[in-house]
Amino acid sequence: MPLRPSRFLSASRAPWRGRVLTLIAATLMVLAVPAQQAAARTTETASARKSAPAARPAKAQRAPQAKAGLARPADRARAAQRRGHGARLQKVRHVARVIEPAKPSIGQAIGLHSVEDPLGLASSVALVTDAQSGQVLFEKNGGAVLPIASITKLMTALVVLDSKAPLQAVLDISEDDRDQERNSRSRLPIGARLTRLELLNLALMASENRAASALARHHPGGERLFVQEMNAKAQQLGLTDTHFTESTGLSSGNVSTARDLARLVQAASHYPTVRELSTSSELGVDIKGRQVMFRNTNRLVGAESWGVMLQKTGYISEAGRCLVMMARWAERPVIMVFLDSQGRHSRLGDAQRVRDWLDRRPTQSRVPVGFHAS
């Protein structure tokens, strides 16, 4: 049975367990694409190898003819020199690199990118709301349930702060914090010791996965209770289409909608620590006696014209490029959510396109009539 966008766009009609099963089915379909392409390359390679030996006898037949013409010593010397040069060239092996095609995101697999919008956004999901009135200014597939990658870390931060655990307590990075699912890189080595506040800063600003993992692992009650409290907090905030399975966002089982994430950003904006840490430009921390600098993953933070008040970026292949933030537009705070964007910088480009579109809207009090697509 083919997957249909409508099954994701009507998220509020079914419990999250049913939608997670649908996401798993879509993920299996996504993973099947590279396997089929690999099988096709294997077949092509085998065919090429079978046909290759036919060209070798011709070279062997030409060799005696060439040697027969080498009557003079000078000719023989030049031929020997060429053979030596050729032998050196043969020592260099040309290794063909097989470039794996990018895995399609869940949004691509279920057809969300087929939904058009007047701005030609690279994100299949977008939502812009007035943070004061709650009015929707722009919406595209706002109810689609998708993986949210490291946007997860916003909820991680809320649970850490709600626990009232001491922020100056020193915590360690252990083998348990190593990414076993995707083998992603981290600049936090095993054995590093940082304060809870520093780990929270790195999780929000630099999206450090080991920092988020360590925060959950050192939570009073342990990691399992931490995840339970993440889901309890989601229910408390009315995030009915949101579910978490871990604290980093590396799992595609962490899912939500743009509408729920706008509510999450609104709630997170009431935490001064989250606003401050998520918008810090850089942080230097001492790791085993060496100062290491970390920088914000969102370059709009450094742009004064944007007035970013809170932000978080995210990426895994199933989720595409993601961005949520609260920024100022026309002296008003607006919340922007972009999910499943294709292209390294496309989510930032989409934010600029939406802002330019808002600036062009001829409306009273600078609040436009919203665009809705689903």
Please list the active-site residues: 150, 153, 207
Letter string b/e over residues 264-291, b meaning 16 or more CB atoms within 10 A of that residue's CB: bbbbbbebebbbebbbbeebebebeeee
Query: Is the CB of residue 156 less than 8 Å from the CB of residue 247?
Result: yes
Instruction: Tell me which residue has tokens 């070798």.
Output: 56
By CB atoms closer than 10 A (0-12, 13-18, 19+), residue 132 is exposed
Distance of CA 127 to the CA centre of its chain: 18
Query: Is the CB of residue 355 less than 8 Å from the CB of residue 338?
Result: no
- Tell me the sheet residues that pair with 329: 332
Helix (H) / strand (E) element for 59: namely helix 56-68
